Amino acid sequence: MAKAKRGNATSSSKMADNSDKQAEKFSLMLDSSDDEAPEEVTFEDSKTQALRSMKQALDTARREKELLKEKRRKRQELFQEQKKRKLLPADVLEEIDPTSSKKPRQSEDEAEEEQQKGDGEKELRKKKKKTRGKLAHSRILKGNYTVATLEERSMASFQQQAAEDFIQSRLYGPGSCRTTSNELLSLQNKKGWNKSAAVQFVKKDWACKEKAKAEKLKKRWIHKQHISSC
């Protein structure tokens, strides 16, 4: 706790105060070797030494402060994690039973937040609020899991899906030797009496994805050519 206090005290506004303390420390160190003859130290040297030590002290103070921040954050996260773990079943229950009112739980949450406001830092609180907001929508759990209720599907619809998959795999699955519509159209174009440009050029909105990709590759290629020629 004492450390923390000191850490807190070292704010930029109390710089002068701090330097006093450092000076005191320095003088104490000098005092400890009083039985030996005092070495001759130039004023310049002593000044630099004093400054260095002061800087060091400041650095350590800052580091300590940061460490403390980190620790607090971790603690906070741990709390949240625990709370989430506790909350999850309630969430799922609520999803399943939409009649249960949402209001009381939300107000509860808010109350909890109010309580935590006291000891949390402002930055952290902001972050927490953000995560809570996200939580309400997509329910992100630890890791890459999300919770969502499935539409209840009957046996019949599963069977229907399986039957449709069967047809799909027999007609379009591996070994079915299928081509693309584009290929077919180009074949028709080649065999037809009046030949015209390929469909992807005639129809501007066709195969947008492929066109975008081609455009990108073309740009990259031009860029590469440019670099090599330079």
Partner 1 sequence: MGEFKVHRVRFFDYMPSAIRAMAFNRQSERLAVARADGAVEIFNFSDNYFQEKVIPGQDSRAVEALCWVDQRLFSGGLNGEITEYDLENLKPRYTVAAYGGPIWTISSNNQGTMLALGCEDGTVKMFEVLAEKVQFQRNFDRQKGRIISLSWHPSGTLIAAGMMDMIRVFDAETGHATHRLLVERGVGASKSREVVVWSVAFLSDHTIISGDSAGKVQIWDGVTGTLLRTHLVTKWDVLALSVSQDQSSLVAGTSEGTVIQFQLISSTVGQQDKEWVRTRTFKNHSHDVRALAHTETAVVSGGMDTQLVVRPLLDKVEKNTQESSLRKIVFPHRSLVCCAKKAGLLLFQFPEHLELWRLGESEGHGKPGDSLTVKTKPEKLIQLKRKGEDHICCSALSPCGGWMAYSTVSSVRLYRLQYNNNNIGITKVSRLPKDLCSVHQLCFSSDSSKLFASSSHSSVIVVALNQQECTYLHTLKPKSSSRQPVHLLFASEDGKWLATANTDCEIHIYNLDKLKLHCTVPVYSSYPTAIAIHPLTSNLVVVHADQQIFEYSLEKKEYTEWSRKLQKLGLHSLWLERDTPVTHITFNSRNPAHIILHDMFMFCIIDQSLPLPEAKTLLYNQMTLRSVPEPERIRHSHAFKICKNFQHLLCVRLLEDHSLVVVERPLLDIMSQLPAPVRQKKFAT
User: Which residues of the shown chain bind partner 1 in the complex (CB under 8 A)?
Assistant: 156-157, 159-160, 162-164, 170-172, 175-185, 187-188, 190-191, 199, 202-203, 206
Judged by beta carbon, residue 116 or residue 182, the one nearer partner 1 is 182
Question: How far apart are the C-alpha atoms of 87 and 109, rounded to whole Å?
Answer: 10
Taking the CA atoms of residue 126, residue 5, residue 51 and residue 32 in that order, the dihedral angle to the nearest 10 degrees is -160
Judged by beta carbon, residue 68 or residue 199, the one nearer partner 1 is 199
Q: Least distance in Å: CB of 146 to partner 1?
A: 25
Question: How far apart are the C-alpha atoms of 67 and 193, rounded to whole Å?
Answer: 79
Q: Least distance in Å: CB of 190 to partner 1?
A: 5
Region at 175 (left for phi over 0; alpha for psi -120 to 50; beta for the rest): left
Judged by beta carbon, residue 80 or residue 182, the one nearer partner 1 is 182
Q: Least distance in Å: CB of 208 to partner 1?
A: 12
Q: How many CB atoms lie within 10 A of CB 10?
A: 20
Question: How far apart are the C-alpha atoms of 164 and 160, rounded to whole Å?
Answer: 6
Judged by beta carbon, residue 26 or residue 206, the one nearer partner 1 is 206
Q: Least distance in Å: CB of 166 to partner 1?
A: 8
